[in-house]
Structure 1
Amino acid sequence: MNPLKTFIKRPIFTAMLMAAVVVFGLFSYPRIGVDQFPDVEFPVVTITTVLPGADPETIEKNISDPLEEALNTLNGVDVLKSVNLESVSQIIIQFTLDTNPDIAAQDVRDRVQATLQQLPEEIDTPVVEKFDIGAAPILTLSLSGALPIEEMTQLAEDVVKPALQRQGGVGSITVVGGRERQIQLVVDPQRLRGYGLAVSDVSQAIAAQNLDVPGGRATDSGRERVVRLTSEVKNVEELRNLIIASPQGAPIRIRDVADVVDGPEEARGAASDAGRTAVALTVRKQSGTNTVQVAESVTASLAELNRTLEAKGVYVSTISDNSRFIRSSIASVQFDMVLGGVLAVVIVLVFLRNLRSTIVAAIALPVSVVGTFAIMAALGFTFNMITMLALTLSIGLLIDDAIVVIENIVRHMEEGKSPAEAALEGTGQIAVAVLAVTLAIVAVFIPVAFMEGMIGQFFYQFGVTVAVAVMISYSVSMILTPMLSSRLLQEHGGPGNKVSAAIERLLVATERGYHKVLEKVLNWRFVSLGVAVAILVLTIMMAGFLKFTFIPSSDNGNIKVAVELPIGSTVEDTQAVVASLDQQIRALPGIASTFITIGGGVQEQVNKGDIHVNLVSIKQRNFGQEDLKTYLRQNLPQRPGVIVSVQDISAVGGGGNTQQVQFNLRGDNWEELIASAEKVRQFMLKNPGLVDVDSTYRSGKPQYDVQVDRERAAQLGIVPAQLGSTLRAFLGQDKIADYREGGETYDITVRLPPATLASAEAMGQLPVRAPNGTLVELRNVAKIVPSEGPVQIDRESQKRQITMLANLAPGYSLGEAMSSLTSYGAQELPKSVIYDFAGNAKEMGKTVSAFIQALLLGIVLLYMILAAQFESLIHPFTIMISLPFSFIGAIGALLVTGQAMSMFAFIGIIMLMGLVVKNGILLVDFTQQLREEGKNAHDALLHAAPIRLRPILMTTIAMIAGMVPVALARGDGAETRVPMALVIIGGLITSTVLTLVVVPVVYSLLDSLSMRFKRRKGHGAPHVVPQHAAHEVPETAPRSRVGGVS
């Protein structure tokens, strides 16, 4: 039995079938999470190793080098690089995308474990972690009040952090700017020498006396008891009175050689909120959880948490909430979708001028969208920037199939058929054509879902979402639309009102005018095709003026002002400069809040600080984020030696550089690499399109090189390792014992007074105990030489690397920057220096390549679908010849509006491939039907094209209407969607106009060539194309049978 007839004859069955789709979609909707990006995993693993007090060159030589040597042989390693800083080695391994991230991480752990014996014993255990794209903080909170910093830090660690971690979905929480309580023994070297003691004597005395040791078990009166030795100090005063030694019976106590300071640890970082000292907590979500739900859960818990903290005079406030931008962006897209859908329906109403027909067509929209929710939930997709973009794109598509079906049903009703007959025959007549249109759109988007590289991981959900939505739309048009048409459309409509009649006259006039134009171009085929090709060539030449970028900058209301003082600056120096800049920024209009962080983290670069600036909502200010960045660059005061950079805050976790332009220089000759980096920096500074020019290389890190006199040390029985331990003990790098109080454990450390380290001479007087018990000054066994060293050493592929950094000035594109630097590198850099791009620049190159491959694969699939539909190897070219003509409007729209070609504009171009062939399919399919009825190509084209004009215009204008709200959007995240909408609108306009002319001309030319070939082979009669015959326009009288609003 004909399924179509079943759907029409059994309306309840059909309605329930579609209702099931809606019910499943509505049931699935609450289960779909909300996030900024799809939840994807990349096979990237990091290894962080800490060696306290070590300089970058020592870190490189003793940690990164042996680890890289071992890790480089792992299977699937694509990129291996490292960052070597003071005390810290961080190695980043990027595996090929077909590698399982969990297996890769375990392989790395195993290899690191096997290499531990080659690493210094003093290192902290290396930390191996998988890269998580969602690891960027979703919330930053501030704990502030009148308490000392060490007490606020303890509250943050012991009260606030556990309370937040109890909220569902919360992952790691990092405390920033805190300083824990620490018991510091500030040892006086002069007093030590006076008593004949070394720092090792102090450490050993505390370790020997401050302990709690189990003694075993004893039986007392038949009862077993546990015996333990309790000798831990109970308070700081008791620690001061600990005896170090008792020569001649006179005890020497800790207080005799050191001042015991109970207070916060040494400041290696700081934070402040609106000028007040604070402790920040950055909250990250667990992988795979819903950003918005986690943020809402944490925010809701703050009220109860603040009630708990109120008695202590401190409170927790929200500094930044990334979920606000996500919610606002999603809401903006939803508004654009609804408005676009409404406009598309209005266009349908204008063309059909029949409320019932319009309702039948409009029903396809919500049913298709809601049905897509069910598949999204089943596949684990979220509502994110990518999937919402897919649904927005689909709005104009989802009503297309229903429009074509209804228009054909209406045409059959005008021929005198009943609604049921018209529904059956009209739908059946174009079912194959509509299927071909649907498969054509799926064909161009499925390759997007399976693109290679990082971009392919992101756009998998995009391609699948569009394909699913379009397939559901086709099902609705073949199942629900015919049934509703047979029941709701009236066989005899009224004459219609004046507006309806006027619209009908306009449409009839358009069809007749098109018929005349078409007749002329078919008589001047080569001229017509030549003009179209000339326009295309001119457009391709104009494409040279296009700018290229990766992702348009998005106004998410958050920027960062990075401040760097000269090497050697203290925390206090950095705080003073950053606080001054912060005060000026907070005085500007449109600033919601600011937050300062200094140093901190494992890197502890105390000469660096960041001002995190949060803007009020984009609806509450009359300037954009880019405007503020430009203003700050131009107006923040310049200070000697201070580097200020204004940057966007990355929404992707994982750390690393965030500048828009990252240009790597790599080589074996370090001095040559430094010189090349300086040349490139000077070149970049001369380019007005580049701002915030910088590099990862820093020289001038002040340091002391302690050069051991091996012979003298050997004579005294002192080994270099002993000297290293003494230095670490004196300089406060080692914890010598624990101090417990109130259930908490604090570090006891030893350090020297700052004045003792003021010069190499003073440091040379530090006492070291020889094996025979005598004290030897450090200068007697080593030479202390002041020097300078690099602050940071980067490596990639086991070669040293310097990365040049910059941001883009307004109006300057990433493509222009890449072209400029590539040209300079080829002409000016030594052959031994390797150069390439990182960050957005690197990904843009990969993205262009991936999109071109997807485009080519989509075109191949299109050809196969069209060849299968028309059972012809030639006629697919008739339709596909219209593809390049869509570029005319797409490129023109970008040039006119000043938009750059970006990743999202590429999506628009791919979308055009499916939309453009849709019009050609409708036209050629009907022409072929008329040919089968006996008409020649010329007559068939003149008859079919005007009849298909109306559905082509209707679907095209409906699609454009659906894109207009997106093109005009000004809400959060609109910057990424606008280029896509402009490309689609511009491409649709030019491709539709030219398709209506070029496709018939090419069809006619190919048909003539085919007939000539057949004649030469002796097949068929001569084919004559009438040159000047008069042809009547097909019947296009006012559609009184269904006209008017019912």
Structure 2
Amino acid sequence: MRLSQIAVKKPVTISMIFTGILIFGLLAFSALKLDILPEAEYPSLTVVTVLPGASSEDVEQQVTKLLEKQLAGVPKIKSLKSVSKENVSFIMLEFNFGTVIGDATNDVRDRIGPVKKILPSYAYDPLILKVDSSMVPVMMYGVSAKESAPGLAKIIDDRIEGRLKQVDGIGGLITLAAPKREIEIIVDPIKLRSSGISVAMIAKLLETQNISVPGGSIKTGGMDLSVRVPAEFESVDEIGEIQIPARDGSMVKLSSLAEIRDKLKDQDLSVRAEGKTMAVIMTQKQSGANTLEVAQNIKAAMEEIRKNVPADVVIEELNDASEVINLSISNLGTTAAYAMIFVILVILFFLREWRGSLIITLTIPFSLIIGLIFMYVCGYTINIFSLMALSITLGMVVDNTVVVFENITRHIEEGARPAEAAIFGAGEMTSAISASTLTTIAVFIPLAFVSGIVGLLFKQLAFVASITIAASLLVSLSLAPMLSSVLMKRKIKEKKHGFLYNLSEKLFVFVENLYKSLLGLNIRFRWFVVIAVAAVFFFTVKAGLSTGTDYIPEFDMGDIVATAELESSVDAEQSEAVARKIEEIVKRNVDEKDIRTYYTITGQTDNGLLSMFGFSEGKNIATIMAKIVNRNQRSYHIKTVAAKIRKEVEEIPEVVSFNMTAGSLLQSAMLGSSKPIEIKIKGNDLKKLAETGDKLQKVLEEQPYLQDVESTVDRGKPEVTVKFDRVKLARLGINAGMAALAVRESLYGADSGNYKQDNDEYDIVIRYDKE
């Protein structure tokens, strides 16, 4: 018994089945999560290792090369790249698609284990990061204060981060540029030398004088009491009272050898938003969490937080990833709704009667609902690719029902009863529409098996489109025949039609006669038709070959990201001065009323956090980010503004290279941080590589169709080299390693434990005055 026959004979059962599909579909739709892109776990890992106070050359020699050699043997690795920057090493491992990242992470961790023992003692443990969509910050906030500025880091830690960690869906919090308190001991090198005291001696002594030791327990008077020996500093002044033995046997107070400063820690990173210096809080969602819900929860939490912080603390929203999702999904959803309405109107226009139009129209929602159920079962999200799949199939899902209904109508017009016409009409078309549906699905399915990033992004589109089209076949062979048997009436006599029907009938007859005439001409002048078709084909192919190609179309979401690089010897303060100039250029070229927010990031983090998020960082690098109103609220394109800004920034003499992305951060996220065109130069001599790169860069910069040309060679910055006389060191009873460590401790600083106050800990650092 065919499906159409079962549907016609058991209309109640079919009605119940499709009612269940409708209810389950609505529940599935309400449970589906919204996101901008499909959740994807890219087959890559990044190993980040921090080496505080080290130059890029030292990082490469002491960390990167050791790890590279060990990681090169990780199974299923496709490529391995490394970047050595000041203070931090990045090693990017790309694996073959299909690799289980969890297993790859374990392999990398096992390989790193033995190398930890030979890394410098002051190097941080290597950190393994997975690259997935949850790394992108959901919300970014700027926090600034006036009177409360010295304690801002504590306010952020206690009152802001503490509350945000309780928000459902929060996966991680990252705080940048928060001014942290530290106890800095600036020693006088002349006084140290005269008394025979070293920085290492002071650091060791402070550690032994600033301890809290459990002393066991004692029993007395029938009680068991625990014993604790608190010997921690109770005040900053107490640190200066510590007695240090000098070379001559006398005791010297630390305060007579050094200046004790209770201050905010010097930072190489500065963040300014709309002219104010502030700290930045970036929030990440948990993998699989609904971005929109997480963003809403964060905003609600921030409203509570604003009421519980000091009045002078200002919390400003810098970026909201959910806004792009809302706008993109809303636009695509609106487009799909208009498409659906247009399809229904077209059906109604050609059928010119409500029963048939209703039967065919119902194919659309039920096919889409089955597609939504499939998305829910597979754990997909509503994103631009899944919505694109539903939009593409809107016009396709009615094809099968139109064919079936047309054949049912033919049988009714020939005198058959509606039930019989529904059974035979649908049955006769089963093979034809099944073959047609399979050929359509065959177009989409290969997209799901494409390797690389394309496969990850288009997998959902392929499967959702295929399932929705397959669902239309099921609907056309079950629901359509059942409704036809119930709604359609047997033709007894010629029905009288109204004015609109008769008018449209004249139009259809005219078009039909015109087509017959053209068909006759085509048959009469066969060779002319062949030549004309060949010419059209030729020019179509030519136009296709000459049309530009791109990975995704350009978006104008009002995002501007500009990165300026200065000479390598420039410090963060000079970079910030240039950033302010670029801020003025941005404000000069964009209408003030159109600027929603802008902020600048200059300098670098201690642990390479900005690089992990795709930002360039360094003491000589300034990044300016601006968000302007949506395209429908302004008359100009973002690219026009970007061209003006680029022209003015390139005229700033301090700027060595300049890069700008204008349009959408979504596009940057999909394309990655790499350039569209990359030329790789390989060799073993870094100096020759740099020279060749400079020559090639100059040639490329002269090409009118290229912009933002840059070289990735890090030449380092001017440095002071300290070389020891090993003979003299031997006479003093020390070796080169001890002397080198003394230099590091004197200039970079020696950690000497923590100063505790009110359950918080602050670093105690000993160093020479940098001035």
TM-score range normalised by the length of the shorter chain: over 0.9
The residue number in structure 2 matching 1:669 is: 685
Aligned match for 1:599, one of 599, 603, 613: 603
- In structure 1, what residue type is equivalent to 2:578? V
The residue number in structure 1 matching 2:637 is: 624
Q: How does 1:914-953 map to 2 (within 5 A)?
A: none
Rounded to whole Å, the distance in 2 between the matches of 1:415 and 1:508 is 21
The residue number in structure 2 matching 1:563 is: 564
CA deviation after TM superposition for structure 1 residue 166, in Å: 1.0
Rounded to whole Å, the distance in 1 between the matches of 2:674 and 2:257 is 49
Asked whether the equivalents of residues 3 and 477 of structure 2 are also in contact (C-alpha less than 8 Å), the reply is: no
Deviations 1:157-182 (A, max 9, x none): 23211211211111111111112101
The residue number in structure 1 matching 2:289 is: 289
Deviations 1:332-376 (A, max 9, x none): 111111100111111111111112211111111111112211111
The residue number in structure 2 matching 1:6 is: 6
Q: Indicate how the Cα distance of structure 1 residues 554 and 407 shifts in structure 2: closer, same or farther if over 3 A, else same.
A: same
Asked whether the equivalents of residues 568 and 607 of structure 1 are also in contact (C-alpha less than 8 Å), the reply is: yes
The residue number in structure 2 matching 1:645 is: 659
Q: How does 1:513-912 map to 2 (within 5 A)?
A: 513-519=514-520, 521=522, 528-586=529-587, 588-589=590-591, 590-601=594-605, 602-603=607-608, 605-636=618-649, 638-642=651-655, 643-648=657-662, 650-651=665-666, 657-699=673-715, 701-755=717-771
Q: Indicate how the Cα distance of structure 1 residues 499 and 635 shifts in structure 2: closer, same or farther if over 3 A, else same.
A: farther
Residue 232 of structure 2 aligns to a residue whose secondary structure is: coil
Q: Indicate how the Cα distance of structure 1 residues 363 and 227 shifts in structure 2: closer, same or farther if over 3 A, else same.
A: same
Asked whether the equivalents of residues 197 and 247 of structure 2 are also in contact (C-alpha less than 8 Å), the reply is: no
CA deviation after TM superposition for structure 1 residue 119, in Å: 2.1
Q: Indicate how the Cα distance of structure 1 residues 655 and 404 shifts in structure 2: closer, same or farther if over 3 A, else same.
A: closer
Residue 638 of structure 1 aligns to a residue whose secondary structure is: coil
CA deviation after TM superposition for structure 1 residue 696, in Å: 1.6
The residue number in structure 2 matching 1:387 is: 386
- In structure 2, what residue type is equivalent to 1:560? V
- In structure 1, what residue type is equivalent to 2:719? Q
Deviations 1:944-988 (A, max 9, x none): xxxxxxxxxxxxxxxxxxxxxxxxxxxxxxxxxxxxxxxxxxxxx
- In structure 2, what residue type is equivalent to 1:630? A
Deviations 1:54-73 (A, max 9, x none): 21122112211121111111
The residue number in structure 2 matching 1:125 is: 125
Residue 122 of structure 1 aligns to a residue whose secondary structure is: coil
Query: What is the RMSD of the two structures over their aligned residues, measured on CA atoms?
Result: 2.3
Rounded to whole Å, the distance in 2 between the matches of 1:150 and 1:91 is 36
CA deviation after TM superposition for structure 1 residue 530, in Å: 4.9
The residue number in structure 1 matching 2:611 is: none
Q: How does 1:289-368 map to 2 (within 5 A)?
A: 289-309=289-309, 311-368=310-367
Number of residue pairs matched by the alignment: 754
Residue 664 of structure 1 aligns to a residue whose secondary structure is: coil
Q: Do residues 504 (structure 1) and 505 (structure 2) align?
A: yes
Rounded to whole Å, the distance in 2 between the matches of 1:424 and 1:504 is 29
Asked whether the equivalents of residues 164 and 298 of structure 1 are also in contact (C-alpha less than 8 Å), the reply is: yes
The residue number in structure 1 matching 2:108 is: 108
Deviations 1:830-851 (A, max 9, x none): xxxxxxxxxxxxxxxxxxxxxx
Rounded to whole Å, the distance in 1 between the matches of 2:415 and 2:206 is 106
Deviations 1:928-952 (A, max 9, x none): xxxxxxxxxxxxxxxxxxxxxxxxx
Residue 420 of structure 2 aligns to a residue whose secondary structure is: helix
Deviations 1:56-103 (A, max 9, x none): 122112211121111111110101111101111111111111211000
Higher alpha-carbon deviation: 624-633 or 738-747: 624-633
Rounded to whole Å, the distance in 1 between the matches of 2:649 and 2:120 is 45
The residue number in structure 2 matching 1:432 is: 431
Residue 695 of structure 1 aligns to a residue whose secondary structure is: coil
Residue 693 of structure 1 aligns to a residue whose secondary structure is: coil
Q: How does 1:17-32 map to 2 (within 5 A)?
A: 17-32=17-32
- In structure 2, what residue type is equivalent to 1:156? I
Rounded to whole Å, the distance in 2 between the matches of 1:117 and 1:692 is 42
Rounded to whole Å, the distance in 1 between the matches of 2:687 and 2:763 is 42
Deviations 1:610-639 (A, max 9, x none): 222111233322223223222321344722
Q: Indicate how the Cα distance of structure 1 residues 495 and 117 shifts in structure 2: closer, same or farther if over 3 A, else same.
A: same
Residue 293 of structure 1 aligns to a residue whose secondary structure is: helix
Rounded to whole Å, the distance in 2 between the matches of 1:656 and 1:36 is 15
Q: Do residues 422 (structure 1) and 438 (structure 2) align?
A: no
Pick the structure with greater CA Rg: 1
Residue 212 of structure 1 aligns to a residue whose secondary structure is: strand
Rounded to whole Å, the distance in 1 between the matches of 2:306 and 2:406 is 63
CA deviation after TM superposition for structure 1 residue 416, in Å: 3.6
- In structure 2, what residue type is equivalent to 1:378? V
Deviations 1:181-240 (A, max 9, x none): 011111111222232322222212212212222333334445443333322111111112
- In structure 2, what residue type is equivalent to 1:259? E
Q: Indicate how the Cα distance of structure 1 residues 356 and 13 shifts in structure 2: closer, same or farther if over 3 A, else same.
A: same
Rounded to whole Å, the distance in 2 between the matches of 1:302 and 1:128 is 31
Q: Indicate how the Cα distance of structure 1 residues 474 and 206 shifts in structure 2: closer, same or farther if over 3 A, else same.
A: same
The residue number in structure 2 matching 1:49 is: 49
Rounded to whole Å, the distance in 1 between the matches of 2:665 and 2:768 is 41
The residue number in structure 1 matching 2:612 is: none
Deviations 1:5-39 (A, max 9, x none): 23123322222222122111111111110011111
Asked whether the equivalents of residues 43 and 99 of structure 2 are also in contact (C-alpha less than 8 Å), the reply is: yes
- In structure 2, what residue type is equivalent to 1:697? V
The residue number in structure 1 matching 2:614 is: none
Rounded to whole Å, the distance in 2 between the matches of 1:407 and 1:630 is 56
The residue number in structure 2 matching 1:950 is: none
Deviations 1:414-463 (A, max 9, x none): 33434333323322222211111111111111111121222112111111
Asked whether the equivalents of residues 56 and 716 of structure 2 are also in contact (C-alpha less than 8 Å), the reply is: no
What are the ranges of 5 or more consecutive residues in structure 1 without an aligned counterpart?
A: 756-1046
CA deviation after TM superposition for structure 1 residue 704, in Å: 1.4
Rounded to whole Å, the distance in 1 between the matches of 2:658 and 2:515 is 62
Q: Do residues 174 (structure 1) and 178 (structure 2) align?
A: no
The residue number in structure 2 matching 1:973 is: none
Q: Indicate how the Cα distance of structure 1 residues 560 and 391 shifts in structure 2: closer, same or farther if over 3 A, else same.
A: same
CA deviation after TM superposition for structure 1 residue 752, in Å: 1.7
CA deviation after TM superposition for structure 1 residue 581, in Å: 2.4
CA deviation after TM superposition for structure 1 residue 695, in Å: 1.9
CA deviation after TM superposition for structure 1 residue 579, in Å: 2.3
Asked whether the equivalents of residues 268 and 599 of structure 1 are also in contact (C-alpha less than 8 Å), the reply is: yes
CA deviation after TM superposition for structure 1 residue 532, in Å: 2.3
Residue 89 of structure 1 aligns to a residue whose secondary structure is: strand
Asked whether the equivalents of residues 586 and 594 of structure 1 are also in contact (C-alpha less than 8 Å), the reply is: no
Q: Indicate how the Cα distance of structure 1 residues 563 and 154 shifts in structure 2: closer, same or farther if over 3 A, else same.
A: farther
Asked whether the equivalents of residues 167 and 297 of structure 1 are also in contact (C-alpha less than 8 Å), the reply is: yes
Asked whether the equivalents of residues 153 and 180 of structure 2 are also in contact (C-alpha less than 8 Å), the reply is: yes
Q: Indicate how the Cα distance of structure 1 residues 247 and 719 shifts in structure 2: closer, same or farther if over 3 A, else same.
A: closer
Residue 436 of structure 1 aligns to a residue whose secondary structure is: helix
Rounded to whole Å, the distance in 1 between the matches of 2:200 and 2:216 is 30
Rounded to whole Å, the distance in 2 between the matches of 1:616 and 1:190 is 60
Asked whether the equivalents of residues 159 and 308 of structure 2 are also in contact (C-alpha less than 8 Å), the reply is: no
Q: Percent of aligned pairs with the same residue? A: 27
Asked whether the equivalents of residues 724 and 736 of structure 2 are also in contact (C-alpha less than 8 Å), the reply is: yes
Asked whether the equivalents of residues 274 and 597 of structure 2 are also in contact (C-alpha less than 8 Å), the reply is: yes
Deviations 1:97-134 (A, max 9, x none): 12110000011001100222232222111111221233
Q: Indicate how the Cα distance of structure 1 residues 706 and 248 shifts in structure 2: closer, same or farther if over 3 A, else same.
A: closer
Rounded to whole Å, the distance in 2 between the matches of 1:681 and 1:591 is 34
CA deviation after TM superposition for structure 1 residue 304, in Å: 0.8
Residue 203 of structure 1 aligns to a residue whose secondary structure is: helix
CA deviation after TM superposition for structure 1 residue 653, in Å: 6.5
CA deviation after TM superposition for structure 1 residue 524, in Å: 6.3
Q: Indicate how the Cα distance of structure 1 residues 430 and 518 shifts in structure 2: closer, same or farther if over 3 A, else same.
A: farther
Asked whether the equivalents of residues 59 and 84 of structure 1 are also in contact (C-alpha less than 8 Å), the reply is: yes
Higher alpha-carbon deviation: 277-286 or 550-559: 550-559
